[in-house]
Amino acid sequence: MSRLVMKFGGTSVANVERIRNVARHVKREADAGHEVAVVVSAMSGKTNELVAWCKETGSHFDNPEYDAIVASGELVTAGLLALALKDIGFKARSWQGWQIPILTDDAHGSARIAKIDGARLIDGFGAGEIAIVAGFQGLHAPTNRVTTLGRGGSDTSAVALAAAIHADRCDIYTDVDGVYTTDPRIVPKARRLDRISFEEMLEMASLGAKVLQVRSVEVAMVHKVKLYVRSSFDDPADPKLGTLICDEEDIVEQQVVTGIAFSRDEAQITLRDVADKPGVAAAIFGPLAEASINVDMIIQVVSEDSATTDITFTVSGADFERAQKIIASHREAIGYARINGTEEVVKVSAIGVGMRSHSGVAARAFQALAAKGINIRAITTSEIKFSMLIDEPYTELAVRTLHSLYGLDAKA
């Protein structure tokens, strides 16, 4: 008998009728003889509502109480799904994160899972019981407080649970039927991928693809959890298999470029006429790191006299104003003449493990974008991807150009 974890996101459980539809998906797998654990998110929009209530109630923000409040959305979904399964003849019970327990650190709002004891769920399987687990949450044992794992944390809950109970696979159900070569709303010719490697999915998720939370892919890669992305809106009696996320070795034919991702949550900051001397980079990026501001692209251009330099870097759009204020407060230590910045930029990336064995992949992109009149502000590369920062109005043109360039368009 095989063991399976099924995870359903907020749009999949948005109302009672959709929860009944989820129950039919679970029924199909249970009828096939699987031992099933289900991880659920809060109903669509519920977490945002709870967050708004926290802000409305009082100015004294308390992280542990915030987690206790926002974690409640998943509890409602878990209980409702258990009721729906009982209505169609199955033994089912809901589980809160602390009851399993899912143990985490104490970083409220973005906790990391330290350990999961799946013994109680496995005992329930022996009694023919389906486990419905509230995702997104855990327990910090020393303080006995509920914690939450951050946005998209139910994905991580599901993958970590699959590893803990030695599940044969973990199916992530969402509102799309798999992972596509790029966003189909931007490129109608985007194709659904049958398979994608963990490394490629990790890059796509971190570079703007919204299908999976980055940490869930990391956990799956470390623990070798076979992961499928599927649609909960398929007919429960005849669903598509979706996209398999697996080891690179399990993919027979590998394209040079697998997908094109883009992120609009980018901002560019440039410091002009910075003194070119040891310690300047530390004076800039040290305070940003202390403020937990992640810096992505960094470009340094030295002047002709080698006395000054211009330094350009990118941060997330959400951190743009805060980063500028921090830099301004350290102006004397840094020694720059002026600061420029813009949020009207987008990062476009090409990802593919095939880049390891092919040269000139990025150069083709640069030529193709130049032919379209698209200026590249900054470039970063790694072994299996390259990213370019461009002006926001050119986003769709750039994505479509690269998608066609690397032969990713669906055949007519």
Binding residues for substrate: 47, 74
Q: Under 8 Å CB-to-CB from 355, ≥6 apart: which residues?
A: 256, 257, 361, 383, 384, 385, 386
List, in sequence order, every residue forming a beta bridge with 338; answer none if it has no partner.
Answer: 272
Q: Report the distance separating Cα 128 and Cα 370, nearest Å.
A: 61
Helices (H), 165-264: 198-206, 214-223
Chain CA centroid to CA 296, Å: 17
Q: Are strands 308-315 and 338-351 parallel, antiparallel or unpaired?
A: unpaired
DSSP structure class, residue 144: T
Q: Which of 410, 406, 395, 408 is nearest to 368 (CA)?
A: 406
| Spatial contact of 74 and 136, defined as CB atoms under 8 Å apart | yes
SS3 of 245, please? strand
**Ramachandran angles phi, psi of 3, nearest 5°:** -120, 140
Q: Report the distance separating Cα 277 and Cα 356, nearest Å.
A: 36
Element (H, E) at 59: none
Can you read off the two tokens belonging to residue 285? 């990026």
- C-alpha dist (Å) from residue 344 to 175, 293, 318, 356: 29, 19, 13, 32
Q: Report the distance separating Cα 102 and Cα 147, nearest Å.
A: 10
CB atoms within 10 A of CB 256: 16
Q: Report the distance separating Cα 87 and Cα 83, nearest Å.
A: 6
Q: Report the distance separating Cα 288 and Cα 107, nearest Å.
A: 20
| Spatial contact of 378 and 312, defined as CB atoms under 8 Å apart | yes
Q: Report the distance separating Cα 75 and Cα 97, nearest Å.
A: 9
- Helix axis angle, 72-87 relative to 63-70, nearest 10°? 20
Q: Under 8 Å CB-to-CB from 50, ≥6 apart: which residues?
A: 42, 69, 70, 72, 73
Binding residues for ATP: 7-10, 174-175, 180, 185, 210-211
**Ramachandran angles phi, psi of 374, nearest 5°:** -100, 120
Binding residues: 7-10, 47, 74, 174-175, 180, 185, 210-211
